[in-house]
Chain A
């Protein structure tokens, strides 16, 4: 470590090592096939990557569209300081989803086929187009940071002009994408546990994404305040958190309505899936709903952070329950992620964190975007 200009911290070195390991795993996967690095099988065609990297990854990228719509659709410009990091988190989240898909897809070199071969009957068709279009929208939304860094005034002015339209488009695509991930499982009514299968799956996925969006912004602000030694805008973050009980409340009401009309309350008191259901509903919905409704929680950094983690934990558990844990397994099949599946995910996330750190260091990430100025 004699280099004067580049001296990575221990944290950066660890992240770099994780990414390097994931790169080796990816090479093995491309050379020898998915079985070489995963426990995926014909009984479990989707595993940890789909549950975590795709379903949780997209849900946890929801901070971008929720914050952007607060600032540009509800015109609450005071939340502007939170916007750029939220968009970056969402953008990197989507890039990580795409990287994970390039590992998980059987034929990643054909991912572009979704552009030329259409099946509008397929939910996956909608998912594919949403990933593609919304990633592009996030890149455009984020581009203002680059324009500002290099002082490209005319591009910045153009960006300012189109941003409201871009945010509406992004919110629309996010609504479609978040809900369509739930709709994916509508095609498997006999395979998803009755506690989680519902014709309302797309609405559940959307509502939980709206709830987890501000929670991610809280966590991301909290961590970057610590790591980058900035002050946390507690007041502002706490105010944003007021949206969470609304979304969680709507989710809870719909869940009660759905289980009652489906007559499935009995399954909630059976076996380990019933226990998981209550863990998700009490720990991830009811408890944070109550906590975020308390002003004392919204005024404290640590309590905000803790309550946000509950929401995130609830959503992660829900996505796993729908797609993996509550999955009807064919006889004699079994799945637990291979350590290399986990290493792949860890490496992708580490890469995302490193890029976030680089952007925070070299680009004007924490200055409020131009929206604070009059748009007209």
Chain B
């Protein structure tokens, strides 16, 4: 649905030039919610603006629903943009128009007139749960309500794609969840393809089918969440299930097991202790429901060196689990976040 190929964007020229996007390629499938995660300054905003060409890439192509936008004339581009709704971090609502007036703006631009415009704008406001606030000005609405108006406005022209530029970043956690649920609802009900950018992993966890990680203008990895979870060394997977710093573990082996789908329900650790007589310590665990399925990561400490534990590790891998050895010679990766990591002995 959205295909970004070798897109680069450089601001300025000469020695003052900065590269915001560096050879970025991205594919978003029809009907999915795709999240691009990255820290501020990673180039997320430039990337999402490149999709509707609010920011024209220095090189590369952007294809949306079969139209190669980078080749279109300004007039053709305006028409193509009507298929792409966009919501913004700071809502960008017209202060001088009511909620309904803001939604009607989208319809006016497309050329819908009179009674049809009123009918349709109220219908969309109903859809986003603001049917009773049609006459309110943005100054009278809460942040969440403003973003609902923003979403309604983006939906006015019946787009096929919704771009979300940090739509929940200015909202509190509870409101964030309700807005994300709304995005999920319209994704399902209207079959809308959604591309969102965020710096919050929770957003990806809650609604995304696929994700990409952007850093310094480059895509580090991308794919469906399910496949990323089962990819060894995936940074996205590590950040989805943060386990904190690896504690000192002199002489012992620390492993991390990633569960997804069916394996999450099996008593893996109990079996390990029973079958091999091991004193397994659970150093940390994180479990999430992603795409309606349980998935998670557990960090275990096994007595003895990795060599001594070769057999149990092989057994775990034989069960289809992703097992990574951390510390002691293995490529150690220290996560930046340190939540949900509590040491406990099993």
Bound pair (A, B): no
Show the binding face of A for B, using Cβ within 8 Å.
none
